[in-house]
Structure formats: C-alpha cells, structure tokens
Amino acid sequence: MSEKTLSNRRQFLRQLSGGAGLVAAASSRTALADNHGGKKLGYALVGLGGLSTNQIAPALQKTKHCRLAGIVTGTPEKEKIWAEKYGIPEKNIYNYETFDSIADNADIDVVYVVLPNSMHKEYTIRAAKAGKHVLCEKPMANSAEDCEAMIAACRSAGKKLAIGYRCQFEPHHLECIRLAREKTFGDLKMIDAGFGFRIGNPDQWRLKGAPAGGGALMDVGIYALQACRYLTGEEPAVISATETKTDPVKFKEVDETIVWSMTFPSGVVAACSTTYAFRGVNRFKASSTNGWFGLEPGYSYGGIKGETSEGELRFEEIDQFAAEMDDFAQCILHNRESRVPGEEGLKDLRAIEAIYKSIRTGTSVRLG
C-alpha cells in the first residue's frame, strides 16, 4: 500500500473520529479523545439483559471517559448482584416505577436504554425529561413516528441522543467507508450485504410482534441496511422486498427471512438479506469500477475480517461498545454532534418501513 493511500486513510479516520486518527482508533479504543479534565460521565443502564450483562457493563470497565454509575431493572434479584459486582450504591439503583427520580441524581449523566424495542421510546423520553443524555440501542424504535417523538423530546430538553450503532466506531468499517467515499477503487456500483443467524428459544421477546416490532430485519438486518447507507453516504430511493417463512408457527408474529434490493440516487444498487433461520450470513462486499472491498465476518462483536481486491485489511481489535460510549461522552463533554444521532436511527426506520410495505403490497416502494 502506498504512502499516499496510508496518509489518506489516517486523515479520513481522523476526521470521522473527531480528531483521534486511524492509528489511535486501530490500536486502542482509549485514545478516542482527550481527558477533558479527567471527568468521567456516569452511565445508567436501563435493562439488565444479556447485552448489558455480557457486553455493555464489561465494556464500561474499559472506557476512558465513562463509568457505570447506576442501573434500572425490573428484577429485584439483579440489584444485589450488580451492586456487589460493580460497586453501585443503593441510591443509584432504580426500578421502572422509580425511574423518573433519576432526575435528582447528579451521579448519572447518561441513560443507556437497553430494553425491548417497543420500550425505547418511553424510556428515551422519560430520560430526556429527567435531564439526562440518552444512548439508545438499535433499532431506535418500532416506527419512524416513535423515532421522531424521541428526537423531539431530547431536543426540547436540550439533551443529546445517540443510537447504538457500534460498527460505525470499528476500524475495519471506518476504513471501508473511507475506501467508498474517496473512490479508492473507482465509483461504487454494487453492494451485497447480509446478516442473520438461527434463533433459538421460541418464547423470547424477539419473536413477539408487539415488543420487537419485527423479526430478523429489525434485529440484525438493520446492520446490512446501515452498511449500505454509510458506504454510499446516501438514502435509498427505491426499495423492493420479499419475505419467506419456513416455520409459520415459530415466526407467526415476526419475519423470518427477508431479501431486499435498494437503488440509491447515484445509481448504486444493493442486494441485501437477513434471516432468523440459519447461520453463516454476516458480511458485505462493495464492488467498484476498478476493484472491491468488504468484511466477513462483518458485524460481530469481535473477529471482524476485511479484504480488498488488493489484499487484506488488518486492524487491531477494539471493544466496539466501549468505543461508542467513549465517543458519546466526548460529544457531551465537548458539545459536538454524534455521528450516530437520533436522525440516523430515524432514517433506518423509514427504510425498514419501506421494506415491510414492499412485502405487504408486492410492489417497489419509492422513498421521498
């Protein structure tokens, strides 16, 4: 790889990460920004399910600008376990009924909403009204209308809102964005993207229509959708989709497998897929006039691998959750916009609603 290419890569990621630079992003999540006086922002996790337990809470122990300050849970048994493990004082432990009193707690700066999708709107709005900044897991909500209400509530309260798109802080993804935007391999022409897995327990909330809002598309297909949007830097103009169900009992309320195509204003075409029926779909490949680049696996918490028509993309692994939380802390401390604001989540939901509409109507859907 030429010195010019390396220089361009460093400059592009330095811009994307608010001044951290590629070397910092690739080598250590802790170098995303400076200390800003050494202040660490207190995060309260709302919802202590598997993601909070296995990913987010451990990631907070690695952050440079954040700390786990509080928890909100509807399971009393978890209160003692978390308090002892992470040294959380009793005054920083809430349930869903006492949540609003978090407004009086100066220890907590940010509320991280890690709940079933249908609850994102309520707790984002309640957190904003309590005077807290909000980081909300994806998908942002179950409808574009709910997303708009969340954005409006945070704006009215003068608080920042970001969505948990961890891949946009991962160095392989950042490099692919650079390759696309700088046209390193010429004009981007086509993207093939997909993410899926075989889902287990049939009684879980992800298979229930009301809390989940949808199935594989809302849960993991959104990663493929996101990749197409941030590689092109555009919003889809036309979407066409079809759905397949091999188990209509298990997937009675939500989608199992969806394939969809998107055409972007520049003419880029995307072929996407998502599924709850089988493993092995976890990638994107972007083809340009003079070459290609892509990731496989592309969306996992770790072990991401990248390749281009010229060779391998290689970066040191980071904790993606720690990176996104540190970045949001920096946005708050330096009063700058997140690159994954509520508006980003809203755009995804608009596209997802178009996918579902195309399935219902059997026709292509044009977006405004």
Among residues 64, 121, 138, 160, which one is catalytic? 138
- Cα 299 to its chain centre, rounded Å, is 10
Nearest partner of 178 among 269, 308, 297, 24, judged by Cα: 308
Determine the Cα–Cα distance for residues 277 and 292; give it in Å rounded to an integer: 29
Cα separation, 145 vs 109, whole angstroms: 26
Question: Residue 253 corresponds to which tokens in the numbers above?
Answer: 């309320």
In the three-class reduction of DSSP (H, G, I as helix; E, B as strand; rest coil), residue 1 is classed as coil
Cβ atoms of 246 and 258 closer than 8 Å: no
Give dist(CA 193, CA 225) in Å, integer: 8
User: In angstroms, what CA-CA distances link 212 with 147, 215, 276, 280, 319?
Assistant: 15, 7, 13, 23, 26
Query: How far from chain centre, in Å, is Cα 331?
Result: 16
- Specify whether 138 is catalytic: yes
Dihedral angle at the C-alpha atoms of 127, 130, 131, 136, nearest 10 degrees? 0
Among 43, 123, 165, 223, the one annotated catalytic = 223
| Alpha carbon distance 284, 279 (integer Å) | 15
| 301 catalytic residue (yes or no) | no
Instruction: Give the separation between CA 313 and CA 305, rounded to whole angstroms.
Output: 7
Q: List C-alpha distances in Å: 323 to 25, 108, 205.
A: 9, 19, 28
**Catalytic site positions:** 138, 223
